[in-house]
């Protein structure tokens, strides 16, 4: 009898702790506004992070929470109602900037410049993430082309729009990255070849320093 009383007491304490940690009733979407922080977040249901299935050939709105290096960032997905997911790591498709945070490699040539450029361009910005054939890589990172404005269907295949608004293209054109195609994600591979060639011919970024 004494053991049952102790178990019941522990259960009540656990439930009380959970209630304090996550104040607020869950809505139909499985989320709520935290009374202590005032922020909306999800716990369960169709909008919970664990049930998010990133689809191929789709465009997702997101906020860049933190830039990891020149070609990788942490983002939160944003819904039409203004609510957002927890964080997702995104690897930019079609490009490879010099390493700055690799656990087994030193900081590579022109890596800091590329990382600083991406931090200045994307940190705290709203972006649109376009997936290709494979939505994630073997490290469970989302793979995406990053747009600085919401692309229309026409923009997705328009070279002028890609040059102006796609960040992956900007990295190549300004010489902060080299071409790297992660198959089968090759939608813009031929175009990216031309962008890299332009940067190299114009001695942009890392190409200019290497030629000195």
pLDDT tens digits, 154-165: 999 999 999 999
Q: What is the pLDDT of residue 77?
A: 87
Q: What is the pLDDT of residue 85?
A: 66
Tokens of 41: 């977040």
Q: Residue 67: left (phi > 0), alpha (psi -120 to 50), or beta? A: beta
Per-domain boundaries in the chain: 29-210
Annotated catalytic residue within 91, 113, 187, 200:
91
**DSSP β-bridge partners for residue 60:** 129
Q: What is the pLDDT of residue 111?
A: 80
Measured CA to CA in angstroms, residue 132 lies from 38, 56, 58, 153, 164 at distances of 36, 5, 8, 14, 20
Annotated catalytic residue within 141, 163, 174, 198:
141
Cβ count near 85 (within 10 Å) = 19
Q: Residue 82: left (phi > 0), alpha (psi -120 to 50), or beta? A: left
Q: What is the pLDDT of residue 96?
A: 94
DSSP strands (E only) in the chain: 31-33, 40-42, 59-69, 72-78, 84-92, 95-96, 126-130, 142-147, 178-179
Q: What is the pLDDT of residue 25?
A: 64
Q: How many residues does the chain have?
A: 212
Q: What is the pLDDT of residue 129?
A: 97
Q: What is the pLDDT of residue 117?
A: 97
Q: What is the pLDDT of residue 53?
A: 72
Is 39 designated active site?
Answer: no
Low pLDDT (below 50) residues in the chain: 10-23, 37, 44-51, 211-212
pLDDT digit string (tens) for 155-209? 999 999 999 999 999 999 999 999 999 899 999 999 999 999 999 999 999 998 6
Q: What is the pLDDT of residue 29?
A: 56
Is 99 designated active site?
Answer: yes
Q: What share of the chain is helix, strand, coil (3-state, %, to 5)?
A: 35, 25, 45
Q: What is the pLDDT of residue 109?
A: 82
Annotated catalytic residue within 99, 113, 187, 200:
99
Residue 206: phi and psi, rounded to 5, are -65, -25
Q: What is the pLDDT of residue 159?
A: 98
Q: What is the pLDDT of residue 179?
A: 97
pTM of the entire structure?
0.74
What's 29-210's CATH class?
mainly beta
């Amino acid at each position: 009898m004494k053991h049952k009383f102790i178990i019941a007491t522990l259960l009540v304490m656990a439930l009380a702790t959970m209630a304090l940690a996550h104040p607020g009733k869950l809505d139909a979407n499985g989320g709520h506004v935290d009374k202590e922080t005032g922020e909306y977040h999800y716990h369960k249901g169709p909008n919970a992070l664990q049930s998010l299935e990133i689809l191929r050939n789709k465009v997702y709105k997101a906020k860049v929470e933190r830039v990891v290096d020149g070609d990788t960032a942490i983002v939160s997905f944003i819904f039409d109602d203004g609510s957002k997911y927890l964080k997702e790591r995104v690897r930019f498709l079609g490009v490879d900037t010099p390493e700055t945070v690799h656990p087994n490699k030193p900081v590579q040539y022109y890596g800091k410049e590329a990382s600083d450029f991406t931090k200045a361009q994307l940190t705290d910005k709203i972006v649109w993430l376009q997936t290709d054939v494979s939505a994630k890589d073997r490290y469970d990172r989302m793979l995406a082309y990053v747009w600085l404005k919401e692309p229309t269907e026409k923009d997705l295949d328009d070279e002028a729009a890609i040059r102006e608004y796609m960040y992956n293209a900007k990295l190549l054109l300004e010489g902060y990255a080299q071409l790297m195609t992660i198959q089968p994600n090759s939608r813009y591979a031929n175009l990216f070849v031309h962008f890299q060639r332009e940067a190299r011919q114009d001695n942009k970024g890392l190409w200019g320093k290497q030629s000195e």
